[in-house]
Chains A and B, each alone.
Chain A
Amino acid sequence: MNILCFKEKLYKWIFTVLAFASLFFLVGIVLVLVKEGLPIFQKVSFFKFIFGRSWYPTYNPAEFGILPLILASVWVTFGAVIVCLPLGVGSALYLNELAGPVQKAVLKPIIELLASIPSVVFGFFGMVVLTPFLQKIFHLPTGLTALNASIILGVMATPTVCSIAEDALNYVPNAFREASFAVGATRWQTLTQVVIPAAGSGISTAIILGMSRAIGETMTVLMVAGGAAVIPHTFLEPVRPMTAAIAAEMGEAPMGGSHYHALFAIALILFGATFIFNILAEIISRRFRIKLGLSG
């Protein structure tokens, strides 16, 4: 009996310890980024690092101002949201309100399947198809621009945004719709004045998670954004978002040098940004569930 009891306790302990793996790795990631990233601030001040306008990590003397990279990430993410907001949310509304059961049963798995297309394939498509196309219609010296990256990232985030937004619309109780119909509202009025406001925070969660995905996405921006580390003025210029800078330069940065530390510091900022996005999404979706009377 005693040995059985011991075994039970042992298993419980093993599972408890292993359950902390995610926390362990998350903390590990933060510690590594801090340890490898902080030394750069002995070279340049934090203020100069964030707001410096020139990124010349390999020059002598080197300059580590990441404002162009931050702005590039912001621009590209903003552009991606403009693309994926109508596509993703519009498709979710169509799926939820207009599609019949058969259409829904076919389209939902297809959307999920499309979400699994690897990012490098999107980047490749952007390079070989979209780049020459954009170059031609806008008469540009190069088609590898912020616009290109925005379009590809937006299309890429669309299935994710669509799935999450569709889930949010599903949570809106049918009683809401029926009450609206009962007072004589049309389907369109019900949709715009009852369903969308009710699912609003759920839809915002979808968009925030889409943004989080877009700002952290690496391969597509590395391949199609053009890579010029200058402050962007229009969407038709090549840019170098933070993720692209890390991916492109880490291979050449000497280990333990200033450039290496600077790239880890960029990763730390990137991590901070996505962390805030995720926490924000979590808070909003929790409120949403409480608002609709679902369990938190």
Chain B
Amino acid sequence: MKKKFSQNLGFFALFLCMVATLLALGSIIYFIALRGFGVLSWNFLTQVPYSAMTKGGIAPVIVGTLYITLGAILFALPLGLACAIYLCEYSPKSIVVNIIRISINNLAGVPSVVFGLFGLAVFVKFFGFGVSIISGSLTLGILALPMIISSAQEALLAVPQSIREASLSLGATKWETIKNIVLPTALPGILTGVILSIGRVAGETAPILFTAAAFYTRGYPKSIFSEVMALPYHIYALMTEGAHPDKQRAIAYGCSLVLLLLVLFISGFAIVLRQRQRSSYG
């Protein structure tokens, strides 16, 4: 009897933990959706801001986020894919591979603000790109690299060994096998990983603080060397800078909701996609 009681008590406690987790995270989404929904409108999404950031929309901010994110992926994808191909297809089991693995894991654990400082010292200052889209994209690209590598690795490892052997036995070389057989088979999995990293990168703030973001620019960014407004930084800036805190707060709710929807939609899409792929491999 006593055993049964302590078991029920313990299981109930675990159940409460699960509920508390979902409640805590759910309430964040709920509050932002509740207060941000009233701000959302077609004009909010398509107009430029005016009257010292208190009126108008956030179109250039959304566009800025897209530019920075796409730039980051364009930089990280080829590099990360090449690294994954080396680790899965070429790597001799050796100390070199271990060093590469450890450095990937550690790069993934570097605090985001440290990436920001690296970007500031290297891209902004040393290469002289200034505070710009390209500096921000490169910085975020390095941050995305470990994510891209590990998801590409997972996709490559899921390709059955027998397909590779079939190709090699027909006389194809290693590179021909990779290019014509392995990559096309792994492509859906690689794309899923890319989409997942887009979701992560789009929400990052600290790396672009000193490398790309500005609170206000006139209209849309003109080149990859111009400063840019970006959604995550914009939320922070609206809450801490500017002369009209109350009016800015409403816009910050709108920005948060847009960013939240964007990130949840992108990540959700990727998670569902991956679930399907995993079950299709059995």
Contact = CB atoms under 8 A, between A and B. Distances in A.
B236 A113 contact: no
Nearest to B271: A109
Contact of A117 (B14, B78, B90, B264): B264
A244 B144 CA distance: 22
Interface string B122-136: 100100000000000
Interface string B1-27: 001101100110111111011101100
Given A94-B18, A121-B32, A246-B117, A23 B103 contact: yes
B17 A218 contact: no
Interface in B171-206: 173-175, 196, 199-200, 202-206
Interface residues of A, number: 90
A22 B113 contact: no
Interface residues of B, number: 91
B3 A186 contact: yes
A222 B105 CA distance: 26
A124 B256 contact: yes
A129 B239 CA distance: 13
A230 interface: no
B37 interface: no
B137 to A, nearest CB: 15
Contacts of A89: 17
A215 interface: yes
Given A188-B6, A192-B10, A243-B111, A116 B25 contact: no
A88 B22 CA distance: 11
Contacts of A60: none
B263 A275 contact: no
Interface string A1-42: 000100110011011101111110110110011011000000
B163 interface: no
Nearest to B262: A118
Interface in A179-235: 186-189, 191-192, 209, 212, 215-219, 222-223
Contacts of B233: 120
Contacts of A209: 109
Contact of B24 (A8, A87, A279): A87
B270 to A, nearest CB: 9
A150 to B, nearest CB: 13
A119 interface: yes
Nearest to A152: B28
A10 to B, nearest CB: 9
A98 interface: yes
Nearest to A115: B267
B93 to A, nearest CB: 12
A95 B107 CA distance: 30
Interface string A271-291: 100110111001000000000
Contacts of A191: 10
Contact of A123 (B16, B20, B204, B236): B236
Given A123-B236, A274-B110, A186 B82 contact: no
Contacts of A114: 25
Nearest to A270: B111
A110 to B, nearest CB: 8
Contacts of A186: 3-4, 7
Contact of B100 (A7, A20, A243, A282): A20
Interface string B70-110: 00000000111011011101110000000110111111011
B198 to A, nearest CB: 10
Given A116-B199, A243-B113, A14 B82 contact: yes
The 7 A-B pairs at the shortest CB distance, nearest first, are namely A90-B17, A118-B203, A216-B111, A188-B7, A19-B86, A18-B82, A218-B206
Interface of A: 4, 7-8, 11-12, 14-16, 18-23, 25-26, 28-29, 32-33, 35-36, 86-91, 93-95, 97-99, 107, 109-114, 116-125, 127-129, 155, 158-159, 162, 186-189, 191-192, 209, 212, 215-219, 222-223, 243, 246-247, 250-251, 255, 263-264, 267, 270-271, 274-275, 277-279, 282
28 contacts: A8-B174, A14-B82, A18-B86, A21-B80, A22-B104, A23-B100, A25-B107, A33-B117, A90-B18, A91-B21, A93-B14, A97-B14, A116-B196, A118-B203, A118-B259, A120-B236, A121-B28, A124-B32, A192-B10, A216-B109, A219-B205, A223-B240, A243-B111, A250-B209, A267-B113, A275-B109, A278-B106, A282-B102
Interface of B: 3-4, 6-7, 10-11, 13-18, 20-22, 24-25, 28-29, 31-32, 35, 78-80, 82-83, 85-87, 89-91, 99-100, 102-107, 109-118, 120-122, 125, 142, 145-146, 149, 173-175, 196, 199-200, 202-206, 209-210, 232-233, 235-236, 239-240, 249, 252-253, 256, 259-260, 263-264, 267-268, 271-272, 275
